[in-house]
Amino acid sequence: MGTPCHFALFDLQPGFRLDPELLASRYRELARHVHPDRFADASEREQRLALEQSASLNEAYRTLKNAPHRARYLLALSGPELPLEVTVQDPSFLLQQMQWREELEDLHDSADLAGVAQFKRRLKVAQDELNESFAVCWDDALRREEAERLMRRMQFLDKLSHEVRQLEERLDD
């Protein structure tokens, strides 16, 4: 849409805290205007334009909807580009990370569905806490380095929740 910033596209102030309902309703409204279905009968060029605009709208929505993606996007907006995978010096989290992984492996070996459900609930709580910490940290410009570290932790938990889904799928076989 020619606008450089995803937040501006949805007419939102750049920030970590956002109302998901508001974001969703603005997304739906914008999608109504640019979706290719509105141009089913239009010229090829217009259809292409609608396709491109719709695709970038969908991409912007996907980025803002997901907390780790949003955090990463915010950091990238205000600073140097962040490499996707880096070795982060975060020893206190490293231990936790290993614990999560070990537990997940045990659940895999024992095929314990109730255990998986409980693991998911705990993971959700940890994610909510982390989101809150990031939000607080983000409000303070001096704590950028910490914000970056928290974002990496969020990414890890996001990946972990994806792995839980894969495990559920395997256990369902």
* Long-range own/partner contacts, residues 87-93 (CB < 8 A, 24 or more apart): 88/149, 88/152, 90/149, 90/152, 90/153, 93/149, 93/153, 93/156
Least distance in Å: CB of 92 to other proteins? 29
In sequence order, what DSSP letters do the residues of 22-77 get, joined into one string?
HHHHHHHHHHHHH-GGGGTTS-HHHHHHHHHHHHHHHHHHHHHHSHHHHHHHHHHH
Token pair listed for 65: 């909807």
What does the binding site for other proteins look like in residue numbers (CB under 8 A)?
Answer: 1-2, 11, 26, 28-37, 39-43, 45-46, 49-56, 58-59, 61-62, 165, 168-169, 172-173
In terms of CB distance, is 109 or 173 closer to other proteins? 173
Instruction: Look at residue 122 and give its three-state secondary structure.
Output: helix
Least distance in Å: CB of 2 to other proteins? 6
In terms of CB distance, is 66 or 97 closer to other proteins? 66
What is the C-alpha end-to-end distance of the chain, expressed in Å?
44
Least distance in Å: CB of 11 to other proteins? 5
In terms of CB distance, is 56 or 97 closer to other proteins? 56
Least distance in Å: CB of 82 to other proteins? 16
Least distance in Å: CB of 48 to other proteins? 9
Q: Tokens 């495990």 correspond to what residue?
A: 167
